[in-house]
Amino acid sequence: MAMTMTGEFMLPADKATVWARLNDAATLQAAIPGCESLEKTSDTEFAAVVKVKIGPVSARFKGKVRLTDIDAPNSYRIVGEGEGGVAGFAKGGATVRLAEVEGGGTRLGYEVEAQVGGKIAQLGARLVDGTAKKLAAEFFDNFAKALGGG
């Protein structure tokens, strides 16, 4: 099952700070809902374990994330995949763009495309999309708090 999601989020910090924190494993681990571990394995790669509940299905996903098309401190592409055992798999990517906002702060724009399979895909697009949007909102709220806002 394929899904897409786009959005913008205003963050209470300058672009250089937001960029640095988007590349910091400790900040990301604290911001990602259900993240049990996030380890930077190279300058452009992370290994993660994330526990997620989608409807009646709970799963612990183990995966890898790679950063590509890096244009510091403006944008990058995140490409990743994770295995959740019998619950299924998820893979996909996101383009993230940062822009300074007049008067302070940074606008983060994102475009996500993902594929999910297994039991998770059987739950239906509405439930999966709703959960993805909820998790994205939680991530950005947590990330804004880590930057000193929210």
The per-residue pLDDT for range 136-148, each reduced to its tens digit, is 999 999 999 999 8
The pLDDT value given to residue 112: 94
Residues 142 and 150: their CA atoms lie apart, in Å, by: 8
Radius of gyration of the chain (CA): 15
Return averaged pLDDT per consecutive 10 residues of the chain, 150 residues in all. Answer: 93 96 94 95 96 92 96 96 94 96 94 93 89 92 84
Decide: 31 and 146 in contact? Cβ < 8 Å: yes
Beta bridge partners of 39: 47
The pLDDT value given to residue 150: 53
Looking at residue 144, the DSSP 8-state letter turns out to be H
| Cis peptide leading into residue 73 (ω within 30°) | yes
Name the amino acid, one letter, at 101: V
The pLDDT value given to residue 65: 95
